[in-house]
Amino acid sequence: MRKDQVCNFLSKIPAWVVGIVFVYSAVIKIYLPYSFLAIIYGYEIVSPSLGLLIAYTLPWFELTLGMLLLSQSFLRTAWLLVTAMLAIFVVARVMVINAGLSIPCGCYGINGDIVNWKNTSVTIALLIVSAISLCLLKNQYSCPNDVCCHENG
């Protein structure tokens, strides 16, 4: 396998990992919409009407973004939106932790872990991967020849 083929394969791994996480998370929320709505209300951040809108649209948005990452389609847009969404998730979790609320995070179903620094660090790690992937994708045409870059984007 040539170096460019290896680099091309390795560059897809973050999209596959984050894409699978987003699809899995979305499917559970779509399957259990009322449970997800209850979790949103538990965050005590948004109004009931906005919470309902979020519960109805967020899972489908996550599913779409996850599928875009898995299919390697519209990667710049997908990574930008995933990065923004993960940043919002981190801020919401920090607000919950600082408020002393004991609620499930709502990431992977109703019986998920209570929001804490440990599972928030996983979201921060996904955010870092997403932000780096976005930056690498934006800079793929301007990097030196000896750096692992791919031509598709």
Q: Is 104 part of any domain?
A: yes
In sequence order, the β-bridge partners of residue 114 are: 104
Q: Is 7 part of any domain?
A: yes
Q: What phi, psi does 114 have (nearest 5°)?
A: -70, 140
pTM here is: 0.84
pLDDT of 153 reads 45
**3-state SS, residue 102:** coil
Res. 24: pLDDT tops 80: yes
Total domains in the fold of the chain: 1
Q: Name the band, by pLDDT with cuts 50, 70 and 90, for residue 2.
A: confident
Residue 97 token pair:
């932790």
In terms of residue numbers, what domain contains 89?
A: 3-138
Q: Is 147 part of any domain?
A: no
Q: What are the pLDDT digits (tens) for 111-143? A: 678 999 998 999 999 999 999 999 888 766 444
Q: Is 131 part of any domain?
A: yes
Q: How far apart are CA 11 and CA 136, in angstroms?
A: 9
